[in-house]
Amino acid sequence: MKQQLEQLRAAALRAIEQAGAMEELENVRVKFMGKKGELTAVLKQMGKLSPEERPVMGQLANEARAAMEQAIENARARLTAAALEAKLEAETLDVTVPGRAVKLGHKHPMYLALDEIKDIFVGMGFTVLDGPEIELAELNFDRLNAGEGHPSRDWSDTFYFKEDSSVMLRSQTSPMQVRAMDTMPLPIRMIAPGRVYRKDEVDATHSPMFHQVEGMVIDKNVTMADLKGTLNAVVEQLYGAGTKTRFRPHHFPFTEPSCELDVQCHKCGGKGCPTCKGEGWIELLGAGMIHPRVLEMAGIDPEEWSGWAFGFGLERTAMRQFKIADLRLIFENDVRFLEQF
Ligand code: PHE
């Protein structure tokens, strides 16, 4: 029995030593020291011993139990420490690893250009209007004095939605003149930026979708002098004080007289260079005095009220401002390009 006890003690201590997890340790404890455990089984045989042997075995058995309990206690401490160590290891945070930079977006160069233009006009008391891109041909053409048969109404130039050519993608922001006249009380001072659509092939200076900014003033005693004075002031704010302008006669169905406004080339000062294609001048916008028929069609008496309007392409303005050579870059959304602004 002594031998049995010693073997048991050795086996238990080895098993306890080798337990790799708490659960395993508990199984070992139950196996040897539980109610139906091996040590308990040996102790049950004590009754069979002679009275001389009994205290000796009893002491041996107690020592074996004490040694096992101590070993289990040690193993518990070892496993708890190891578990904590593993947990810390798994949750390590290396504060020396460089952070991941948050990439902030910013405004598209075209909208930067638009913001500047809006600021200038809002500063002069203009309201900024927004209007539909899907427009009635009536407002895009008829109400702007471009009746049936006008060349700009051609199917080869315009995106129509219906066979009867009544609904279209607006080809200009000028229908916003009509919408303003129909809805706003007089006098009116407004600009209306937005997308317009024409059946143009894509190249370095053309796109079937581009942006225009429309502007319009209607008040009493408004003359061509107001048009020139206002637009000159805008040009000076955009391109610097003293920038020269030139008003050339032109034709638009909805203005009379009509003109185009050129600014002297900021690059060469008018001598002629690649920026202005040797012209010395850069075409900026179309403008004119609102045609009396257009006022009449909106129920505004042209004897009492008069006005002027202008419209220009926003991409071209942005391209000039940021020295962008190809219109397509503006729409391709390549971040390597956009990041530069
Ligand atoms: N809508 C004209 C165009 O697209 C520009 C314009 C606007 C001209 C207002 C005169 C007055 O070319």
Tell me how far the alpha carbon of residue 285 lies from the centroid of ligand 1, in angstroms: 8
Q: Does ligand 1 lie within 6 Å of residue 145's CB atom?
A: no
How much is the pLDDT for 120?
Answer: 97
Instruction: Report the atom number in ligand 1 closest to the C-alpha of 287.
Output: 10
Q: Does ligand 1 lie within 6 Å of residue 287's CB atom?
A: yes
Give dist(CA 36, CA 169) in Å, integer: 90
Q: Does ligand 1 lie within 6 Å of residue 289's CB atom?
A: no
Report the nearest-CA residue for atom 4 of ligand 1: 172
Run of H or E including 221: none
Give dist(CA 217, CA 212) in Å, integer: 17
Residues 69-86, mean pLDDT to the nearest whole number: 88
For residue 250, the SS3 value is: strand
Residue 276 has pLDDT above 90, yes or no: no
Q: Does ligand 1 lie within 6 Å of residue 172's CB atom?
A: yes
Structure-derived torsion over alpha carbons of residues 318, 319, 321, 325, reported in degrees to the nearest 10: 160
> For the segment 117-168, what is each residue's pLDDT rounded down to a tens digit?
999 999 999 999 999 999 999 999 999 999 998 998 999 999 999 899 999 9
Unique residue bearing structure tokens 């048009």: 227
Give dist(CA 263, CA 67) in Å, integer: 102
- Of residues 336, 317, 251, the one with CA closest to residue 287: 251
Q: Does ligand 1 lie within 6 Å of residue 255's CB atom?
A: yes
Give CATH for domain 109-338.
Answer: 3.30.930.10
Give the mutation target among 169, 170, 174 for probing the ligand 1 site: most ligand atoms within 8 A of CB: 174
236's CB contacts (< 8 A; 6+ apart) are 242, 243
Report the nearest-CA residue for atom 10 of ligand 1: 287
Q: Does ligand 1 lie within 6 Å of residue 239's CB atom?
A: no
How much is the pLDDT for 330?
Answer: 93
Domain ranges of the chain: 2-90, 109-338
Q: Which residue has the higher pLDDT, 138 or 103?
A: 138
Report the nearest-CA residue for atom 6 of ligand 1: 311
Unique residue bearing structure tokens 């496993």: 79
Q: Does ligand 1 lie within 6 Å of residue 174's CB atom?
A: yes
Tell me how far the alpha carbon of residue 152 lies from the centroid of ligand 1, in angstroms: 12
> For the segment 125-138, what is each residue's pLDDT rounded down to a tens digit?
999 999 999 999 99
Give the mutation target among 129, 140, 172 for probing the ligand 1 site: most ligand atoms within 8 A of CB: 172
Give percent of the chain with pLDDT exceeding 90. Answer: 57
Report the nearest-CA residue for atom 7 of ligand 1: 311
pTM of the model: 0.72
How much is the pLDDT for 110?
Answer: 93
Q: Does ligand 1 lie within 6 Å of residue 193's CB atom?
A: no
Tell me how far the alpha carbon of residue 312 lies from the centroid of ligand 1, in angstroms: 7
Residue 116 has pLDDT above 90, yes or no: yes
Q: Does ligand 1 lie within 6 Å of residue 140's CB atom?
A: no
- Of residues 227, 202, 197, the one with CA closest to residue 212: 197
